[in-house]
Amino acid sequence: MGSAIVIGGSMAGLLAARVLTDFYETVTVIERDRFPDGPEDRAGVPQARHLHVLLARGHQIIESLFPGLDAELDAAGVPRVELGYDTTIYGRGGWVPRFHSGVYTRSVSRVLLEYAVRCRLLANPRVQFMEGWQVNGLATDADRMRVTGVLAQARGGSREQRTVEADFVVDASGRTSHAPEWLKATGYDAPEETVVNAFLGYATRWYNKAPNFNQFWKDLLIASLPPKNPRGGALWEVEGGRWVVTLAGVNRDYPPTDEAGFMDFARSLPHSAIYDAIRDAEPISDISGYQRTENRLRHYERLARWPQGFAVLGDAVCAFNPVYGQGITTAALQVEALQAALREGAAGDIQKRIARVNQTTWLMATGEDYRYPGTEGPRPGWSTRLMHRYIDRVQVLLCSDTDLAQTFTEVSSLMTPPTALFKPAYAWKVLTFRPQQTA
């Protein structure tokens, strides 16, 4: 059955490793970091201390790859969340009313989710980890038509170098991927890139829930209201009854990382609900900031030549503005595409399939970012501006139309394509809605 290599041990890499065990006898995950012994932060995932969202579709895919993982999360005290009923959103039309959507996910910290998946792979005899090694290039056959492995170097200590051979290599090394340089070094073109940058920054702090706090919701979202108010925030209850609170600002309106500034920023959101919740809560962490949030799409699918036995996925090919919470789920969808291509013997088609997966989430993320005047990138056309007006009305109507709210929940969870919001019954409601009623 041969062997495979996955470059990068984050979520995209771990999910890819699991799929590759169905096709290869040995799968080696090469990771620059040393993994912690438990669900803890590590240097290679600077965003781990911030809020992460596992969308419902991603939850389904991960459970299908690791049956019983959801039960493990339940045993670890991870809240099970029914979107619409256990969550609440304040948006353009005010508060979205509570309703039963039947769409479920887990409100889990990034470190626990990654640790739970990694433990499953550690127990898989086909998977081995090379921790503390970095990949510096691709190894190829004599005519450079096929990737035959990677050039790896130990970090620190001996600085030992070695060639690790494999029949298939997946780069899941994230935003800092060097795949374009590796391709050029082996005689291929680097891909074109599209970058859309709204200059969003966010800051996060963790809390113990305030004593006697009594609200129906487990997760709370205060949406920004572009273009007038670029500020938003979210409060998620995760395992251990802890709250993770992330505040965000667009177009360089970054939330401060000092306590007074953080609280003032929370109070300035379109609604004070997050501020009201945390002002009596116990902080259990420092305030951490993050500002590397540009959307970056590498168009590997457009290259005229591509080496056999190589694929790129996750943030290494398409990195989103993290504020929309699409990253883990999109990586899971990409891994599904990888799985289908290998099953069908269509390995040469993988990058095109991944590009099709990325298309919807890319348009959703960049479409939102283009609402702000300071966003940089290829200028959107009239269709994007019309879309903004349409979605603005949809968001107001959510507060009075449960059926529309149900569909919106399914679309934002990547369970249903965005075209569902444009079916005739909805389009009639939206287009006949009187603009003067909008908030």
Q: What is the pTM for the complete model shown?
A: 0.94
> Do 223 and 118 have their domain in common?
no
234 and 271 Cβ atoms separated by less than 8 Å: no
Q: State the CATH number of the domain containing residue 155.
A: 3.50.50.60
Q: Is residue 333 part of a domain?
A: yes
Judged on CB neighbours under 10 Å (0-12, 13-18, 19+), 71 is: exposed
Task: Read off the DSSP letter of residue 4.
Answer: E
Q: Is residue 163 part of a domain?
A: yes
Integer Cα distance of 350 and 344 in angstroms: 11
Q: Is residue 372 part of a domain?
A: no
- 286: Cβ–Cβ under 8 A, 6 or more apart, which residues? 205, 257
Q: Is residue 409 part of a domain?
A: yes
| Structure-block tokens of residue 26 | 């040995």
> Do 237 and 133 have their domain in common?
no
Complete edge-to-edge strand list for the sheet that includes strand 133-140:
133-140, 147-154, 161-165
- 1: Cβ–Cβ under 8 A, 6 or more apart, which residues? 23, 24, 25
Q: Is residue 73 part of a domain?
A: no
Integer Cα distance of 333 and 54 in angstroms: 12
The total number of residues shown for the chain amounts to 439
Q: What is the DSSP string of 367-407?
A: HHHTTSTT-BSSPP-HHHHHHHHHHHHHHHHTTT-HHHHHH
Q: Is residue 241 part of a domain?
A: yes
- Our count of domains for the chain comes to 3
Q: State the CATH number of the domain containing residue 279.
A: 3.30.9.100
List beta partners, residue 288.
Answer: 204
Integer Cα distance of 382 and 384 in angstroms: 5
> Do 172 and 311 have their domain in common?
yes
Integer Cα distance of 225 and 439 in angstroms: 10
Q: Which pLDDT score is estimated for 438?
A: 41
3-state secondary structure of 26: strand
> Do 169 and 230 have their domain in common?
no
Ordered alpha helix ranges (H), 268-349: 273-278, 327-343
Task: Read off the DSSP letter of residue 436.
Answer: G
> Do 204 and 167 have their domain in common?
no
> Do 29 and 119 have their domain in common?
yes
Run of H or E residues at 15:
helix 11-20
Residue-number span of the structural domain to which 351 is assigned: 3-52+111-194+296-365
Q: Given the structure tokens 């995932």, which residue do they identify? A: 45
Q: Which pLDDT score is estimated for 210?
A: 81
Query: From first to last of its 439 residues, what are the pLDDT tens digits of the chain?
Result: 799 999 999 999 999 999 999 999 999 999 999 999 998 888 777 777 889 999 999 999 999 999 999 999 999 999 999 999 999 999 988 999 999 999 999 999 999 999 999 999 999 999 999 999 999 999 999 999 999 999 999 998 778 999 999 999 999 999 999 999 999 999 999 999 999 999 999 999 999 988 888 889 999 999 998 888 899 999 999 999 999 999 999 999 999 999 999 999 999 999 999 999 999 999 999 999 999 899 999 999 999 999 999 999 999 999 999 888 899 999 999 999 999 999 999 888 999 999 999 999 998 899 889 989 999 999 887 888 888 888 889 999 999 999 999 999 999 999 999 999 999 999 999 988 875 544 4
Q: Is residue 209 part of a domain?
A: yes
CA angle 43, 30, 361 (to 5 degrees): 70
Q: End-to-end CA distance of the chain: give it in Å, rounded.
A: 60
Q: Is residue 66 part of a domain?
A: no
Q: Given the structure tokens 């500020």, which residue do they identify? A: 231
Q: Which pLDDT score is estimated for 57?
A: 96
> Do 332 and 427 have their domain in common?
no
List beta partners, residue 286.
Answer: none
369 and 321 Cβ atoms separated by less than 8 Å: yes
Integer Cα distance of 310 and 402 in angstroms: 46
Give the end of a domain, one of 290, 307, 326. 290
> Do 201 and 306 have their domain in common?
no
248 and 224 Cβ atoms separated by less than 8 Å: yes
Judged on CB neighbours under 10 Å (0-12, 13-18, 19+), 213 is: exposed
> Do 286 and 305 have their domain in common?
no
> Do 185 and 85 have their domain in common?
no
Q: Which pLDDT score is estimated for 387?
A: 86
> Do 424 and 359 have their domain in common?
no
> Do 163 and 306 have their domain in common?
yes
Give the end of a domain, one of 290, 314, 349. 290
